[in-house]
Chains A and B, each alone.
Chain A
Amino acid sequence: MKEIWIISRRELNSFFNSLMAYILLIAFLGFSGFFTWISGADVFMVGQTNMQSFFGIAYWTLFFFIPGMTMGLLSEETRSGTIELLLTKPISNWQVIFGKFLSTLTLVCIALAFTLPYYISIATLGPLDHGSVWTGYLGLILMSASYIAIGLFASSLSKNQIVSFLVALLIGIFFHIIFGVLAGNFTGFLGGLFSYLNLSTHFESISRGVIDTKDLIYFFSLIAISLILAETMLTRRRF
């Protein structure tokens, strides 16, 4: 556990040293702030005291930003050869994977923590369903964790960060949109399957305030499968 934290901390430091973290934080807060408060379809337009408009925006911005954060995690290590140093230290591949996963998740959580003033502001405007706000945040964290795991897998595939970014986006877009569209086009078993695979179905039900084990299982299995694939790819590099 200690080793995982050591790796995470190094990765987080590198996010903040390279300005990457600041750019992402500013861009994320800028986008979500603009669309929540200033643009046409904002909180005031909707006229309800809830955070659905913010969650809708964050759902999309995180989808695009996360591949940017994960693309270098393993690609850069492979390209520069530092992966060899890391894997010849007394730590396991899993500790490397978890460490990197945790570092990005921490960064996303920091970004989400900065949006808490939105919550406070809206709460002062009128009666607010506090439960659904917290589950909304939980939904965003689960969704982010899934895309980080997918991004980590994409990063394990190539030495090239751009390739990793595009692969992560390509895989992500299936869960984000395509399965949802397919679910609408099919009926019966296939329709059910696509609807189950569609990430937004699960995200929406959580962000409405319903924490269902079915949704949790979905997110956790998506994360687990992606991380297992990433670990497999990391091991395969040693052959």
Chain B
Amino acid sequence: MDIIVENLTKIYGTQRAVDNISFKVHTGEVLGFLGPNGAGKTTTMKAITSFLVFNKGTIHVGEFSVTEQPEEVKKRIGYLPENNPLYNDMPVIDYLRFVAEIQGIDKSRIKGRILEMVKLCGLEGEKHKKIGELSKGYRQRVGLAQALIHDPEVLILDEPTAGLDPNQIIEIRDLIRTIGREKTVLLSSHILAEVEATCDRILIISKGKIVADGTPENLRKKAQGQEMLKLTIEDGTKNEIVAALQKISTIDWVNPVQGADNRFEIQSRANVSSRRAVFDICVKNQWPLTEMVVVETKLEDIFHELTMN
């Protein structure tokens, strides 16, 4: 079941929280929604769940319009809101039963579904505790359990790993990956490593606009374009080496690293590699080449570049 967002615009007062954005999420895809705080991630997600009324545009979940058939859409969506609000005075198991009933799950199946969720989300030891007594990690699991209990085709998770410890983060990520194989998942985060680890596709949003869309590898490639190398070449003098490197036709620029005599950064021209040429020069001049590293552009850099302008 695909999510199709077209020309979505949401205006708060005079501020355009979401400005004319369009995208699709396909079945079996985990889409990561990335952006700084206040970029419009949560607003978009709330609009898809039909909680928020938006100013312009259309949203379809499968064949159902969010504005015209909200009940049909809501039946098919599992939603974990930001900050994971839950009824603190309810025991976990009662809460899951309440959600199961309200989702209209058949009475005979409710018990089975609750037990399945308890097992899937690792709530075995906590199921009789009140939600208010749980640690943040377990609360998050309850939030996930209530989103998954009716086996929805579409999952919308707003910062699903916020506040968890590293072990819990890995568990939740694995869970999302497993679920994502057959369902449509849209998750938001401002942690890049998380999105990289769980998502098939990334959408970067900044100030209400989509600034990048693609797989993590594609985004990295796009930003990289030119090869960057870090070199350590010993024995030769700095000037000699720089001069020799500059003669290589595929090299765009050479930059000696500040404070180190024999370390250099070089950037190749677009779409060519200078690694062989650098090696040849070192051999010719009898300079030991002790380090040659291809500098990978990190997703952080892309994110920073795209969202700071």
Contact call A88/B53, Cβ cutoff below 8 A: no
Instruction: Please measure, in the bound complex, the distance between the C-alpha atom of A10 and the C-alpha atom of B86, giving whole angstroms.
Output: 13
- Known contacts A82-B86, A90-B104; decide if A238 and B75 are in contact (CB<8 Å): no
Contact call A89/B102, Cβ cutoff below 8 A: yes
Residues in B69-87 with C-beta less than 8 Å from chain A: 71-72, 74-75, 77, 79, 81, 83, 85-87
B88 within 8 A of A: yes
- Known contacts A82-B87, A85-B81, A85-B146; decide if A90 and B52 are in contact (CB<8 Å): no
Instruction: Report the number of A-B residue pairs with Cβ-Cβ less than 8 Å.
Output: 60
Chain A residue at minimal CB-CB distance from B100: A6
Contact call A14/B87, Cβ cutoff below 8 A: yes
B237 within 8 A of A: no
Chain A residue at minimal CB-CB distance from B88: A80
- CB neighbours of B101 from chain A (8 A): 6
- Which residue in A7, A13, A90 is a CB contact (below 8 Å) of B94? A13
Interface residues on A, range: 20 to 34
A87 within 8 A of B: yes
- CB neighbours of B50 from chain A (8 A): 88
The 9 closest A-B pairs by CB, nearest first: A81-B85, A90-B74, A90-B75, A82-B85, A88-B49, A6-B101, A84-B81, A89-B102, A88-B79
Contact call A85/B79, Cβ cutoff below 8 A: yes
Contact call A88/B88, Cβ cutoff below 8 A: no
Contact call A92/B71, Cβ cutoff below 8 A: yes
Min Cβ gap B105→A in Å is 11
B223 within 8 A of A: no
Chain B residue at minimal CB-CB distance from A80: B85
B51 within 8 A of A: yes
Instruction: Please measure, in the bound complex, the distance between the C-alpha atom of A129 and the C-alpha atom of B81, giving whole angstroms.
Output: 57
- Residues 72-104 of chain A, each 1 if its beta carbon lies under 8 Å from chain B, else 0: 000000001110110111111000000000000
Instruction: Please measure, in the bound complex, the distance between the C-alpha atom of A87 and the C-alpha atom of B89, giving whole angstroms.
Output: 19
Min Cβ gap A84→B in Å is 5
List, sorted by A's number, 11 A–B pairs whose CB atoms are closer than 8 Å.
Answer: A3-B102, A10-B98, A13-B90, A81-B81, A82-B87, A84-B51, A87-B51, A88-B51, A88-B77, A88-B79, A238-B52
Chain A residue at minimal CB-CB distance from B86: A82
Residues on A lying within 8 angstroms of B by beta carbon are 3, 6-7, 10, 13-14, 17-18, 80-82, 84-85, 87-92, 238-239
Chain A residue at minimal CB-CB distance from B130: A17
B239 within 8 A of A: no
Contact call B53/A90, Cβ cutoff below 8 A: no
Chain B residue at minimal CB-CB distance from A17: B89
B285 within 8 A of A: no
Min Cβ gap B98→A in Å is 5
Contact call B89/A238, Cβ cutoff below 8 A: no
B103 within 8 A of A: yes
B99 within 8 A of A: yes
Instruction: Please measure, in the bound complex, the distance between the C-alpha atom of A90 and the C-alpha atom of B50, giving whole angstroms.
Output: 10
Chain A residue at minimal CB-CB distance from B71: A90
Contact call A89/B99, Cβ cutoff below 8 A: yes
- Known contacts A84-B51, A238-B52; decide if A90 and B103 are in contact (CB<8 Å): yes
- CB neighbours of B87 from chain A (8 A): 10, 14, 80, 82
- Which residue in A3, A14, A89, A90 is a CB contact (below 8 Å) of B90? A14
Instruction: Please measure, in the bound complex, the distance between the C-alpha atom of A77 and the C-alpha atom of B54, giving whole angstroms.
Output: 22
Min Cβ gap B106→A in Å is 12
Min Cβ gap A113→B in Å is 25
- CB neighbours of B81 from chain A (8 A): 81, 84-85, 88
- CB neighbours of B94 from chain A (8 A): 13
Chain B residue at minimal CB-CB distance from A3: B102
- Which residue in B72, B75, B89 is a CB contact (below 8 Å) of A18? B89
**Highest count of chain B CB atoms <10 Å: which of A13, A81, A89:** A89
- CB neighbours of B46 from chain A (8 A): 84
Min Cβ gap B117→A in Å is 15
- CB neighbours of B86 from chain A (8 A): 82, 85
Min Cβ gap B258→A in Å is 50
Chain B residue at minimal CB-CB distance from A236: B53
Instruction: Please measure, in the bound complex, the distance between the C-alpha atom of A216 and the C-alpha atom of B81, giving whole angstroms.
Output: 43
- CB neighbours of B98 from chain A (8 A): 6, 10
- CB neighbours of A3 from chain B (8 A): 102
- CB neighbours of A14 from chain B (8 A): 87, 89-90
Chain B residue at minimal CB-CB distance from A5: B101
- Which residue in B79, B90, B102 is a CB contact (below 8 Å) of A91? B102
- Known contacts A3-B102, A91-B102; decide if A81 and B89 are in contact (CB<8 Å): no
Min Cβ gap B49→A in Å is 4
